[in-house]
Amino acid sequence: MTIRFSVNGEERSVEADESMPLLWALRDLLGLRGAKYGCGIAACGVCTVHLDGSAVRSCVLPLSAVEGKRVTTVEGLGGNHPLQRAWVDEQVPQCGYCQPGQIMQAAALLASNPNPTREQVREAMNSVLCRCGTYLRIESAVRRAAEVMRNKEASHD
């Protein structure tokens, strides 16, 4: 069947079984390979994308739940997002496989909480696994990006 939704600001449609998780539609049908397959059971978070602005595990989210909604993937951040810059500044990634999921999880956190405490960052980021062990740098990068975004916000006021 045809399922329509917006991806990174563009209207897209896919011909697929509505039970297909969003992850596979993004990767195999829409050519967006930033989100990764890790566990298939929403336990590792490397497939994290946004659905109407909230972080979701795309490996278990059926297309039927995506119809008509807004999906944002790491490709949709544009490459120069404060989080992406902070990830470079803090030299976060090692292998990098989980990092698109980490960045999307962080983006959802900062959208809802522009000034998270250290504990809030650790709690919010707890759902995305990193086997290389980049957690401390992720924490620093999230807080750095939050500060940049707050300053930018303030200068617009």
Partner 1 sequence: MINRRQFLRNSGGLVLAVSVSVACTPRDHGENIPGTLTAYLDVGTDGTVKLFSPISEMGQGAHAAHAAIIADELDVPIEQVRVETAEPADPFRWTTQMYSGGSMAIMQWRQPLQKAAAQAREMLLSAGAIELGVAQANLDINAGEVIHVASGRRLAYGSLAAAASTLTPPDDPPFRNPAKYRYIGKDIERIDIPATVRGESIFASDIRRPGMMYACARLAPVFHAKVESFDEKPALALPGVMQVVEIPGGAAVVATNSWAAIRGAEALDIRFSKTAHDGLDSETISQQMHAGLDADDQALMAHEEGDVAAAVAGADRVFEAVYEVPYLAHAAMENWSCTVEMDEEGVLHLWAPSQAQDDFRSAAAKAADLPLHRVRVHTPRLGGAFGRWCDADAVPGAVHTAVAVKKPLQFFWRREDQTAQGRYRSAQVARLCAAIDSSGKATALDIRMSGQPLRARMREGELDTWNAVYGLRGIRYGFDSFRVDWVRVNQPVPVTTWRSIGASQNGYFLECFIDELALELGKDPYQLRRELLARDPRALKVIDAAAELAGWNEPLQEGRARGMAFFESYNALCAQVAEVSLKDGKPLVHRVACALDCGSVVLPDAVRAQVEGSVIMGMSTALGEQIIVRNGATVNTNFDGYRIMRMAEAPLKIDTVIIESGEAPGAGGEPPLPPAAPALANALFALTGKPVRKLPLN
Between residues 108 and 125, which has the closer beta carbon with respect to partner 1? Answer: 125
Which CB atom, from 120 or from 157, has the smaller least distance to partner 1? 120
Three-state secondary structure string covering the chain = CEEEEEECCEEEEEECCCCCEHHHHHHHHCCCCCCCCCCCCCCCCCCEEEECCEEEECCCCEHHHCCCCEEECHHHHCCCCHHHHHHHHCCCCCCCCCHHHHHHHHHHHHHHCCCCCHHHHHHHHHHCCCCCCCHHHHHHHHHHHHHHHHHHHHHHC
Q: Give me the least distance between CB of 82 and partner 1, in Å please.
A: 11
Beta carbon of residue 9, minimum distance to partner 1 (angstroms, whole number): 16
Q: At its nearest, how many Å lie between partner 1 and the CB of residue 157?
A: 28
Residues that bind partner 1 (CB under 8 A): 16-17, 20-21, 24, 27-29, 31, 33-41, 43-44, 46, 73-75, 79, 84, 87-88, 91-100, 103, 122-123, 125-139
| Minimum gap (Å) between residue 153 Cβ and partner 1 | 22
What is the rounded distance in angstroms from the CA atom of residue 32 to the CA atom of residue 36?
10
Question: Nearer to partner 1 by C-beta: 43 or 111?
Answer: 43
CB closer to partner 1, 71 vs 128: 128
